[in-house]
Amino acid sequence: MELEPVSSTHLKRAGYDPFHQILRIEFQDQSIYDYKNVPEYVYRSLMKAKSHGKYHAEFIKERYPYTRVW
């Protein structure tokens, strides 16, 4: 999965696998998390958000199950 850079103090890069509906986010501390069952519109909204970190905190962090990858 290719990750695209985002402008954020907390998030570094994000990518999406539409087949498996997995949103992958790399944070500034180099940790990487996969969020499962994320609709594609949520990923697109994250990438268009004025504040990527705020969007993640409000619409992703506690709404989707996640696993730490790295």
Question: What pLDDT score does 54 carry?
Answer: 97
Question: What pLDDT score does 9 carry?
Answer: 94
Q: pTM for the complete prediction?
A: 0.95
The low-confidence residues of the chain, meaning pLDDT below 50, are: none
**How far apart (Å, rounded) are the C-alpha atoms in residues 62 and 38?**
12
